[in-house]
Structure 1
């Protein structure tokens, strides 16, 4: 399966210099589906050298030429969408339809940034004196080390690679070892689109070792990471020694506020469909549901009904709506959270168990927990899986306080038919993104990112390219 995806360094695919490999497993069957190269220090040294040389070429490539090549990457990804999506579904367990949607979303990133390439605008500042000219120009930051997660293995690296290329940077991308194939396919599309050798490099292997080696190198001037909060903090520490520019999109614990003026059943149907997408393994997944007491019974009943109707199975199988979780450690965490919530008095409204029809794979039933107390583990730590805890509220100030009580601030959601509630809540929630009567936030043309411990910087939209640029002020005396 991975015969074409080894290490991609300096414009060519090759095995690790020491021949080391790592296994990749299908989460639906727990069987090995292939091996990937396990990069060593010598491989990383080659990648750094190649990226440094590639940067000098790419930064001097004309913007229209860069734009054309980046747009060609988008076209190639769309042409290969079925192949890429199939690999992704096998690696992650997600339904094939979701994998197709994600692959097209990855292509959108390259299309968007192909256009942004030509719109890196500077600034002219009015001078105090007639003989002086003041201006600001933007220049690429340099070599980028990009680390992405396994839950969206095409979209996440695409956001980083496309923005870096648009800015004129070279990049070394390190995908998650659980699901490297779709990222490898994107790198192959970059190669086939004519991106020069050394501009895009792809390494796989031990995440901690690779991060330490790349970030400690003076060649790398920018670090981009999507991952958990603990991983983000470790990378921030590593980057501090070299005063590297860092952007990171980390975990969240998305609060959802359902006011009593909303259509409770309609809101529940939207929330349930979003909650169980990608088996709940989504950084902006709705994960804490605060429902007004007057609407709770109708909301809870509809949410549980939708959860019970979801068809589980292998992502490639017909009609499957939710696949397995990506790994055993995530499954163990969900089991612990359900048991803790029940011990603290929560009601199990749907699911709550490993489904009996699957004797292999990391499956867990779509689970809805009712009247979950605020001190339950699931209300305080990100439940990266198919579990939805419901709680009630009556007062606006109280629910805002509870929604903002955690150190996370990625996304939040509001359901209401009242413009006042919509405006106040969207402004008062301490998050980087808010959906009002809407939950599908991610799109190429909008900025994606969080505040507090959920990260810094933005990916996507016209803001996303700025994390890969440095402003330079120029004062000229005539």
Structure 2
């Protein structure tokens, strides 16, 4: 299967190297106005992939103007037509899922076993919001004695979408599909570390019949292209997935234009396992939620809280399983962990191995680079045990295959440990005690809680965090709350009293 995936890669890699990755603005592929480019390489071995347009303010201006010009027609398009286009985009994604998965895996280092599923999930996002487009404008009826009141939702306008380098294809669809369904037009700025599939997705959308200017892609760096996008007066809202510090900058940059922001940021998420839990299932979930997708996921369960009665046996099983996780070439279907996205990120993850040992935690597995994979950005699956809640490895987001285990005795102690971080994205609770499960779900500081389960995404439900993990919610009607404005319309039912001024008495 590795050879087959390499064959698929070779179908696209030569032309990708030759033509480079340019911007896609108003339906046309164009270079950055300055002519500048930057180099994109694969984290597998550092080999050159292609050159990418390095855009700045002038390119964002052009894209924002295209999105503004296209907005009037797109928002006025009949809902059924908009739905049909979104369905056609989904079908295009499904048709090219293997190609997308291979390109994404090569560009990001994510194992192909997960990327094929991610591509199909991207298609599912478009199908789901295609159906939602029909009633996206629906509101409420709030009658009064003398007036009929009803609300409608209307698209907010052109929006900026800034996506990260971990599973970029799927996460782009997560933001762009509801924006288009709502009637918004889009300027998309992909992460500079993972530019390859962003253009392919937008190209497929145009092949599916999307009008020009509705979806624009501008490549570049956050400090230039990203900053210009968040500041642009034509852009009415910015949806961002990424690091917490960048999210705070976006709030500041959007403030002068009173821009609406939706921020999905970092996490240091707890998985809490009580002594009455189904230990084997909890073990499977803990390992999957930390070490899948290279550990580069905001919802990963980075802190494993184990009740002391089960701590020794659980840790022994955990050590054996983590030591057997297969690190290798991401296009090999047998690979469970591929390389980190970039050498700078590899060094960051490796540095936390030294930090954990210096803090006094016990390094049980991993902590360095795997043998035989020196050319790439690889990191061994790492497991620290006997940690405490105040250690940096339990406080800071490592964003890699790095798990920290902390013991606890009581329910109250578990809640204190879980809440002792600045983040609040997700929490995972394992117990057979129904009352306890609900108590902790209410008390833990997180936007999402899964009980006796790993992260299973259901599109109608709200997705988002609290504290330093973000602002706003994705999913179902919650997405439309962000991409649309609510308008109230009030109609008098008869001759109600109107106060009179300036009359003769």
TM range (shorter): over 0.9
Deviation at 1:37, TM superposition (A): 1.1
User: Does the aligned pair in 1 maintain the 2:389–2:420 contact within 8 Å?
Assistant: no
Q: How many matched pairs?
A: 476
Deviation at 1:125, TM superposition (A): 1.7
Counterpart check, 1:74 vs 2:112: no
Hey, what's the Cα distance between the residues in 2 that align with 1:474 and 1:312? 59
Deviation at 1:472, TM superposition (A): 0.6
Hey, what's the Cα distance between the residues in 2 that align with 1:188 and 1:144? 19
Counterpart check, 1:230 vs 2:245: yes
In structure 2, the partner of 1:322 is: 337
In structure 2, the partner of 1:213 is: 228
Relative distance call for 1:280 and 1:135 in structure 2 (3 A) is same
| Structure 2 unaligned regions, length at least 5 | 1-12, 494-505
Hey, what's the Cα distance between the residues in 1 that align with 2:119 and 2:477? 21
**Structure possessing the higher radius of gyration over alpha carbons:** 2
In structure 1, the partner of 2:179 is: 164
Give the 3-state SS of the residue equivalent to 1:127 in structure 2.
Answer: coil
Q: Deviations over 1:376-434 (max 9, x none)?
A: 21101011011111010001111101111212110110111111121111111110111
Counterpart check, 1:300 vs 2:315: yes
In structure 1, the partner of 2:110 is: 94
In structure 1, the partner of 2:140 is: 123
User: Does the aligned pair in 2 maintain the 1:173–1:203 contact within 8 Å?
Assistant: yes
User: Does the aligned pair in 1 maintain the 2:113–2:333 contact within 8 Å?
Assistant: no
Given candidates 63, 67, 80, the residue that maps to 2:79 is: 63
Q: Deviations over 1:96-120 (max 9, x none)?
A: 1111111111111101100110122
User: Does the aligned pair in 1 maintain the 2:140–2:150 contact within 8 Å?
Assistant: yes
User: Does the aligned pair in 2 maintain the 1:265–1:298 contact within 8 Å?
Assistant: no
Q: Deviations over 1:252-274 (max 9, x none)?
A: 11011100101323312221122
Query: Please, what TM-score do these two structures have when normalized by structure 2?
Result: 0.92
User: Does the aligned pair in 2 maintain the 1:344–1:373 contact within 8 Å?
Assistant: no
Give the 3-state SS of the residue equivalent to 1:211 in structure 2.
Answer: helix
RMSD: 1.4
Hey, what's the Cα distance between the residues in 1 that align with 2:270 and 2:251? 26
Relative distance call for 1:142 and 1:445 in structure 2 (3 A) is same
User: Does the aligned pair in 2 maintain the 1:269–1:302 contact within 8 Å?
Assistant: no
User: Does the aligned pair in 1 maintain the 2:165–2:191 contact within 8 Å?
Assistant: yes
Query: Please, what TM-score do these two structures have when normalized by structure 1?
Result: 0.97
Relative distance call for 1:399 and 1:292 in structure 2 (3 A) is same
User: Does the aligned pair in 2 maintain the 1:109–1:460 contact within 8 Å?
Assistant: no
Counterpart check, 1:13 vs 2:29: yes
Q: Deviations over 1:301-330 (max 9, x none)?
A: 111111111111111124111101111222
Out of 169-178 and 214-223, give the one that drifted further: 214-223
User: Does the aligned pair in 2 maintain the 1:105–1:444 contact within 8 Å?
Assistant: no
Hey, what's the Cα distance between the residues in 2 that align with 1:475 and 1:464? 25
In structure 1, the partner of 2:263 is: 248
In structure 1, the partner of 2:8 is: none
